[in-house]
Amino acid sequence: VSDEENWYCECPKLYTGKLCQFVTCDENPCGNGATCFPKSRRDAVCLCPYGRSGILCSDAINITQPSFSGTDVFGYTSFLAYSAIPDITTYYEFRLKFQLANHHSALQDNLIFFTGQKGQGLNGDDFLELGLRNGRVVYSYNLGSGTATIISKPLDLTLNVHAIHLGRNLQKGWLKVDDQKNKTVTSPGRLVGLNVFSQFYLGGYHEYTPELLPKGPRFKNGFQGCIFDVQVRTSLHQGFKPPGTPEGHPNSGRSVGQCKGSPCSLIKCRNGGKCIETGSTVYCDCLTGWKGAFCTETVSVCEPEHDPPHLCQQGSTCVPLPDGYTCNCPLGTTGTYCEQG
């Protein structure tokens, strides 16, 4: 499926991945609505939903300051989704604080929040979004007649916590970052209302790829670090409130951890396996020859993951021996590897 220069694959059942290259989790071991992803032909990784952690997402975690891990090795972003924010057509103000996980990749091209018309990727789609690009905060909105964008000065990386305050009244928008000067912009065209129906996404997207978003925002990666104290108001006479119904409660999320928490501290990978954590999602990356959730099972010489692979040919069956293996040949073939007719 393509829209001009962008494309993505719609995978048939049981297949997943950007190129539909992975055979999915036939017997899905993941619990609690986790996204199952095949780490190899035999092993799955569970990308945990909001409020869950652990290898099979069976541990409940309390999240007061969500931490996001950007885009994981499987191409998914960690995110929270809150119910659509009502009444932001003519006026809104947002406040939030964030902490960066690492200054190298966390500042390149990372989404902080997004709400908008999704699924078409057309230039006229209304949206509101905030992100980081090349070390600066980028705030954009489109009321349907063109995009308005404000770019801050570079962030002061000696600060541990950054604060953002932004707003919009009809076509006029403004952004204040840390103690930088307030910057303003006016959106082009004649339209004055923001019409968005999607949920309010924090830190990333629900979709596998950002290609389905309007052309304006398209930050390639999710946020890396913690975002907290998110508050919104939709009129000058209101108090600020956290998003969500009930307030402060997301509808859904994926691979979101608690800031400063480490799921790897709770599990032990064996046989040289390395613990990998992305938000609340955690798994063991095993050395060659080992498999299983904790790298405790050996890869048999006959299994497809074995390195080097076995050489049995033409539908023959590989049978492990104490030292090596033999090939059981089907009728009509012979030779060590059943390679001769």
Fold of 79-258: Jelly Rolls (2.60.120)
Indicate the burial class of 130 (C-beta count within 10 angstroms; 0-12, 13-18, 19 or more). Answer: buried
Local confidence band at 18 (pLDDT 50, 70, 90 cut-offs): low
* Amino acid code (one letter) for 231: Q
Domain with CATH 2.10.25.10 in the chain: 12-60+260-294, 300-340
Q: Which residues contact 315 (CB under 8 A, 6 or more apart)?
A: 330, 338
* Three-class HEC string of the chain: CEECCEECCCCCCCEECCCCCEECCCCCCCCCCCEEEECCCCCEEEECECCEECCCCCEECCCCCEEEECECCCCCECEEEECCCCCCCCEEEEEEEEEECCCCCCCCEEEEEEEECCCCCCCCCCEEEEEEECCEEEEEEECCCCEEEEEEEECCCCCCCEEEEEEEECCEEEEEECCCCCEEEECCCCCCCCCCCCCEEECCCCCCCHHHCCCCCCCCECCEEEEEEEEEECCCCCCCECCCCCCCCCCEEECCEECCCCHHHHCCCCCCCEEEEECCEEEEECCCCEECCCCCEECCCCCCCCCCCCCCCCCCEEEEECCEEEEECCCCCECCCCCEC
Local confidence band at 172 (pLDDT 50, 70, 90 cut-offs): very high
Beta strands at 91-100 and 224-233: parallel, antiparallel or unpaired: antiparallel
Tokens of 336: 């060590």
Indicate the burial class of 142 (C-beta count within 10 angstroms; 0-12, 13-18, 19 or more). Answer: buried
Q: Round to whole Å and give the CA distance between 325 and 173.
A: 70
Local confidence band at 82 (pLDDT 50, 70, 90 cut-offs): very high
The pTM for the full model equals 0.74
Give the CA radius of gyration of the chain.
24
Fold of 12-60+260-294: Laminin (2.10.25)
Mean pLDDT of 322-327: 89
Return the top range by mean pLDDT from 44-58, 134-148, 210-224, 255-269.
Answer: 134-148
Domain with CATH 2.60.120.200 in the chain: 79-258
Local confidence band at 261 (pLDDT 50, 70, 90 cut-offs): confident
- Backbone φ, ψ for residue 11 (5° rounding): -85, 145
pLDDT digits (tens, 9 = 90+) for 245-254: 999 999 999 9
User: What pLDDT sits at residue 163?
Assistant: 96
Q: How many CA atoms lie within 13 A of 293 on its CB side?
A: 11
Class of CATH domain 300-340 = mainly beta
**Cis geometry, peptide bond prior to residue 246 (ω within 30 degrees of 0):** yes
Return the top range by mean pLDDT from 70-74, 207-211, 222-226.
Answer: 222-226
Local confidence band at 33 (pLDDT 50, 70, 90 cut-offs): confident
User: What pLDDT sits at residue 210?
Assistant: 60
User: What pLDDT sits at residue 121?
Assistant: 53
Strand partners, 257: 67
**CA 276 from centroid of its chain's CA atoms:** 15
* Amino acid code (one letter) for 124: G
User: What pLDDT sits at residue 297?
Assistant: 86
Local confidence band at 224 (pLDDT 50, 70, 90 cut-offs): very high
**CA 206 from centroid of its chain's CA atoms:** 7
User: What pLDDT sits at residue 129?
Assistant: 92
User: What pLDDT sits at residue 235?
Assistant: 94
